[in-house]
Structures are given as C-alpha cells and as structure tokens.
Amino acid sequence: MLFDWAAVRTALPSVRLLDEPLGRGASSVVLRGEDWVYGAVAVKVLPPEAVGDARHEASILATKLDHPHIVKVLYGSATNEIAAIVMELLPGGSLRTRLRQGRVTPEWACAVVLAVAAALDSAHHVLLHRDVKPENILFTADDQPKLADFGIARAFEGSVVNSTWPVGTWRYMAPEQFRADALRNTTDIYALGLVAYELLTGRPPFHWADATWESHRQCHENVQPPALIGVANPIARVVLRALRKDPADRPQDARAFFFELAAAAAAALGPDWLARADVRLELADDLAAALRPPGQAPASPPAPRAGAGGAAGAPATQPVTLPSVAVPSVAVPPVAVPSVAGPRDAVPRDAPGRPAEPTADVAGVAAAAGRRLQVRPPLPAVGPGPAWLPPQRASSTGPRPAPSADTGAVRARTGEDPGFRLAARRGALRVFAAVALIVAVVVLAVVMVH
C-alpha cells in the first residue's frame, strides 16, 4: 500500500511518525510513532475506502475487548484521504519473526498457543477473529503474546457468523471458510491448531503444489495433516484434533482447547513445564488453575481497595510481605474523607449479583524462570460502545463520562482532541491580531484628526 505521510500527519496531529514502517499488508501499513499523550505507539494506516473497516476494528478492540493477550487500541482518526488506528506498540515482533529465527522449545510453543487460546476465549463472547496466524500474534518487550488485527473479525449472529464469500488468509483458513459456510468458534480453533503445528514442528502441515486458491482449498478440505514428528503424543493428539475437517470433531470452544492442551503439556513436559517456558501469561483464575502443579494450594490475594484497583478486568496482584520498621508515633488530627465505593464495593457482599472474589495464585509456577504468571479475574460482559474513539487522558478525578456517538462534538467540547486545541490557539491568535489592528487604526485616525 502507498500512503501519503502528509495525510497521516493531518489525520493524527498529536502523533510524530518515526522511522520506517513496522510492517505492511495488502491494504494497510503499520508505522511507529510518538503520541504526546500515550508515548510510543503503533499506527495502522488504511486507504480511504477502508474507513468503515478501520472504525469497525477500533470500535471492537476499544469498547468490547479488554484482555491482556489482545492488542489495545487507543483511538482512531480519519480524513477524506486516509484512515488510521493508534494502538499500543509491541516491540517484541511477531510470531512469524520468531519462527524465522529457528525452532522453539515445546514449552515456549505451548505457552504461546495457550495465551492465544485465552485471548480467543474472551473474544468469542463477542466475535470471531477469522484471521489467526503467526503474523497477527505479536509480543511485548517482556515476551507477553497478544492477538492483533481484528480487521476482518465479525460479530456473532447467535452462535454463528454468516459469510457470503470466503474471507481470510488461505494458508490458515478452515475448510468451512473456503466453502463460505456458517462459521463458529471452531473456525478459529482450526487456525490456532495450524499455528500450533507450525510452532511445534517448524513447518506447516500441508505442502501446496502451488500458491493458488484451489491448491490451498484441496489441502484444507481433503488432505490429512501428517503426524507431528518429534512431538510428544499427548500434545500431538490435541493439535491434530483441532485440525479435524469436520468442525463438530474439533474442540468446540477456545476454553475447551485451552484445558486440553494444558493437561497434555503437563503430562508430556512435566507439571512445572511453565517455569521453563519463559513466556509472560496473564490468565483468569480458572484458566490459571489448570497450569498449577499438583499439590500447590491457591492463596487468596488481598481484597481490592475501594475505588483503587477495583476496576473490572484489572489483574489481581500477589501479596508482598515487607519487614517491619519502627516508626515514631505522630499525632495526626482526624480528617473527614468522603467514602468512595469501587465497582465491586458498590454491591453488598451478600447480593446475588456481586462478582466473586478472585482466589487463584499461581505466581510460584514461573518463579524459576524469573517471570510471573498473573491471575486475572474473569471479565464481565461489556456493552457496545462508540464507533470511533478520541484519545483519552488519564484523570485523577475519576472516570470520564462515556463519549456519545457524536465523538467529534465530544472531543471539541472536552478539549481532548489535540487538533482542536491547536486550531483553538491559532483562532485565538487571529482574533487578538484583528483586535490589535483595529485599535491601532482607530488610534491612528484620532491622532491624524487632531
């Protein structure tokens, strides 16, 4: 894709673009930038005809998905010439880059696949990704995998996604995608099985006669993947089951696939395999429990403080014991402080709708590797949000009100839009110059008259 740097700068006045593009696709390019609010960011640029897709992707990621293994979208912008999505920068590169560097350990491969399965488990409450592949699995600087590129994701209509024509990357498409059948969770499971096969063996399961559509379709619909040479049988069985041609024969959701692979990894690699994986995982407590070695009892984390750290979906932290220090007593006059109730404390403890307290603690699993496996409470359901998001500053006075559908007007009223602030300053200078000119003319006329 060819793009105009000036058009991107016009669409994103608060971002300074840096270096060469981070990556290119058939209809997009990803740039590195510096945002004056968020710091280092990645900017996905699309042509003007893709404005609808850009709004769709930004809306999905920013308002419906909040998961530590899904890339975070910050905001989006569009002009008549360009559409852009500003996302968190993931400097660790893509899974495709890691594969090009050589074979990986089975522990590392299983941990990465489990992270993506956890991301899909969260995403499948809302939508189907339809393009799971190594290029769309990115890493943070400390090796936390994140699923990216929801550009062709579609919301479920009941339990299926209906498509009128095949969409996806041929190499990672399920047989039902080639036929344009109704798609379910199992479509993404098939693609993740292909990624797992490639990670564990170092090669794709199929060898295509050529790079045509028909060659890929024949392989995915009719050719059985060969045995995974050099891979432990329990893990190989789980991967091959995910690659069954009939969707009904695969694991029916990402959660089931997660538990199957976690059990297989423990049986084949040992109960402490995750400590050797050197991958950072943040999982809900029920998923994390599947990775806990036998005999390790869960510990209850400290209760969240009211109004601080109690937001839904925030990772649970582990208790830390500090040495006692003698401190001289100081008389402090009492100060009345208004109580602030957090999201959990707003509901009485005995109320039936109150979320359960997180209880899992598996930080010890990865202690030997110097990494932490964080326990994350299950996310509540999130309703639909605005289609287009302006940048939001962090506020110390509490959460901001949700923007309305007219996000341009909201940005102007609240002053959040950097372009609006710049235009406002320029407008003020013009008004000041005009007033000064008028005053000078009046004074000059008075002097000349007298």
Range with lowest mean pLDDT among 56-70, 245-259, 425-439 = 56-70
What pLDDT sits at residue 373? Answer: 57
- For the record, the structure tokens of 238 come out as 């789980």
Query: Residue type for 96, please?
Result: R
Instruction: Using the predicted structure, report yes or no on whether residue 112 has a pLDDT greater than 70.
Output: yes
Instruction: Using the predicted structure, report yes or no on whether residue 183 has a pLDDT greater than 50.
Output: yes
- Residues tagged in the binding site annotation: 44
Closest by Cα among 429, 402, 405, 425 to 415: 425
Please answer whether residues 100 and 423 qualify as being in contact, where contact means their C-beta atoms are separated by less than 8 angstroms.
no
Instruction: Using the predicted structure, report yes or no on whether residue 181 has a pLDDT greater than 60.
Output: yes
Tens of pLDDT, residues 3-48: 677 778 888 888 888 867 787 766 778 888 888 888 889 888 887 7
Each domain of the chain, given as residue ranges in start order, spans 1-89, 90-295+358-384
Closest by Cα among 35, 3, 1 to 18: 35
- For the record, the structure tokens of 425 come out as 């300053």
pLDDT band at 423 (very low <50, low <70, confident <90, very high): low
Residues with Cβ within 8 Å of 108's Cβ and at least 6 positions away in sequence, in order, are 277, 278, 279
| CA–centroid distance for 35 within its chain | 19
What pLDDT sits at residue 174? Answer: 93
Catalytic residue among 35, 131, 272, 285: 131
How many helices, marked H, and strands, marked E, lie in the chain? Answer: 12, 11
Tens of pLDDT, residues 116-154: 999 999 999 888 898 999 999 999 998 899 998 887 787
Give me the chain's average pLDDT, please: 74
What pLDDT sits at residue 146? Answer: 95
What pLDDT sits at residue 397? Answer: 40
Backbone angles phi, psi at 75, to 5 degrees: -170, 175
For tokens 């609010």, name the residue: 37
* Domain 90-295+358-384, architecture per CATH: Orthogonal Bundle (1.10)
What pLDDT sits at residue 154? Answer: 79
Angle ∠(287,291,295) on CA atoms, nearest 5: 120
Q: Is the dihedral of CA 264, 137, 189, 246 positive or negative?
A: negative
Class (C level, CATH) for 1-89: alpha beta
What pLDDT sits at residue 297? Answer: 55
pLDDT band at 393 (very low <50, low <70, confident <90, very high): very low
Q: State how far the alpha carbon of 56 is from the alpha carbons of 87, 198, 430, in Å.
A: 14, 30, 38
Tens of pLDDT, residues 239-268: 999 999 999 999 999 999 999 999 999 999
Of 159 and 386, the structure prediction assigns the larger pLDDT to 159
Tens of pLDDT, residues 288-316: 888 877 666 554 443 443 333 333 333 44
Residues with Cβ within 8 Å of 228's Cβ and at least 6 positions away in sequence, in order, are 197, 200, 201, 235, 236, 239, 240
pLDDT band at 405 (very low <50, low <70, confident <90, very high): very low
Q: Is 131 among the residues known to form the active site? A: yes
Tens of pLDDT, residues 319-358: 333 343 343 444 445 544 444 444 444 444 455 554 454 4
d(CA 113, CA 199): 9
Of 197 and 376, the structure prediction assigns the larger pLDDT to 197
Please answer whether residues 383 and 319 qualify as being in contact, where contact means their C-beta atoms are separated by less than 8 angstroms.
no
- For the record, the structure tokens of 359 come out as 């209880």
Instruction: Using the predicted structure, report yes or no on whether residue 191 has a pLDDT greater than 80.
Output: yes
Q: Please, what's the b/e burial string for 74-106 (b: 16 or more CB within 10 A of its CB; e: otherwise)?
A: bbbbbeeebbbbbbbbbebebbeebbeeeebeb
Radius of gyration of the chain (CA): 26
Neighbours of 228 (CB within 10 A): 18
Query: Residue type for 119, please?
Result: A
Of 403 and 226, the structure prediction assigns the larger pLDDT to 226
What pLDDT sits at residue 358? Answer: 42
d(CA 105, CA 278): 10
Element housing 181 (H / E): none
